[in-house]
Amino acid sequence: MIDATAVRAVNAMTARWARAAVTDEGTVLAAAGVWPLLALLAGGADGPVRQELEGALGVGAD
């Protein structure tokens, strides 16, 4: 089963992207495919890169 925290984090990331990227109607985007990749990268990162990835993910990388 998928963790509810992860679902909320993916939804929040999608909402942030939509607010920043969508300038007109008819655009569809989803973070569900990108979120696991960012989580994998964050797990191996450290310092400012890890912090930036955690910020994008909406959860810690631990």
- pTM for this prediction: 0.59
Residue listed under structure tokens 């912090």: 51
Structure confidence by residue, pLDDT tens digits, 47-60: 999 999 898 888 88
**pLDDT of 1 above 70:** no
Number of other CB atoms surrounding residue 38 within 10 Å:
20
Residues 34/42, Cβ–Cβ less than 8 Å: no
Euclidean distance between CA atoms 45 and 12, whole angstroms: 22
